[in-house]
Each structure stands twice: as structure tokens, then as C-alpha cells.
Amino acid sequence: MKDNSTGKLIVFSAPSGSGKTTIVKHLLKQKEFNLEFSISATSRDPRPNETHAKDYYFISLKEFKQHIKNDDFLEWEEVYRDIFYGTLKNEIQRIWNLGKHIIFDIDVVGGLNIKKAYPEKTLAVFVQPPNIEELKIRLKKRQTESDDKINMRVAKASIEMATAPQFDHILINNELEVALKDAEELVKTHINA
């Protein structure tokens, strides 16, 4: 087993539609960062473009609740009624055993909980859309959810944006190319610290 004491954690949190997934995917392509994606577990159904054990570990609500009882999660949250998300402790260990740094694409509560669990090792970045209207436009462009779901996400986004000051950095994703470069600099600085 490799020494996992050098593995860093990099958290990207944001309201849905802010661009955090695009930023995380870009960072994963930068081989010099030696990053591995932390796959979250969820009790929700996969979207048409999602794959089990790549995008998420899709597990039943019953299984998810059993993992909670067993204290198998580093962090978890019921984001919407009966829709749970969480990070399994064995996922962190899996990545550290590979000798890599861990990158998260995670909701704001989960991101802050990881920061609390590993305060010295974690860089927590809040990706902020230019404004709520732009967020709504981005969610509609996805064409993956109903108007009701989009409205639910937009309402949640206003609450999530209030948590931004609790993160190490706020990255405003107004222009994607600029946000990607800023994200690279933040990660490089954290890994080399």
C-alpha cells in the first residue's frame, strides 16, 4: 500500500449549472496534476448520458440508508426528498492507494464537510455563475430536466450561493476559458504547497 499522507483533496462545489463539472473534467485531463475523480454515490436514477461507477455509484435508497447506518460515508446529504448523495470512505482510500490527489465535483454541503474532515489537505473552491438568470439559461440548455426540476434547482442555488464565503476561493465562471485557467492555477498552488 502506498503512503497516502501526501494525497491532497480538491473540492469543486457549486449550484447545479454553474460549470463545475466542465471545470473538473478539464482539470482531470491535466496529467501533471495527478488527479483522480472521486465518484459519489447517489440514490437517484441515472440521467441518459451517465454511467454507473464512472459518473456516480447508483445505488438504491435502501442500500444508501444501510451505508449511512454502517458509517461508510465521509459525508452524505439528502439533497432532495429521498435523493441522497455521498462520498464513501472506501472511495477516498481507493484513490490514495493509487498515489493520486482526489478531485471532487460535489454539492456545497458535501464540499464543506470534506473541508471539515481534512482541513489541512483540502482546497475548497466555490464555482459561482455570473447570476441566477444565467444559471437558469444554462440549466434549460442542458435539456435534461423538466421546468419544475429546473425551478427547484434555481431556488436551491440562491441558498447555496450564500455559502460561498465559507470556501477557500470563489471562482466566478463568467467566461469559461478564464475560469479554466484560474482553476488550473488554484490546483497547481495547492498541490505544490
- pLDDT at 99 (0 to 100): 95
| Reported pTM | 0.86
Closest CA to 40 of 92, 73, 86: 86
Residue 144: band (very low, low, confident or very high) from pLDDT cuts 50, 70, 90: confident
The residues spanned by each domain of the chain are: 9-192
Residues facing 88 on adjacent strands: 73
pLDDT in tens, 61-103: 999 999 999 999 999 999 889 999 999 999 999 999 999 999 9
pLDDT per position as a tens digit, 29-60: 999 999 999 999 999 999 889 999 999 999 99
Strand partners, 57: 41
d(CA 16, CA 6): 31
Across the chain, mean pLDDT equals: 91
Superfamily covering domain 9-192: P-loop containing nucleotide triphosphate hydrolases (3.40.50.300)
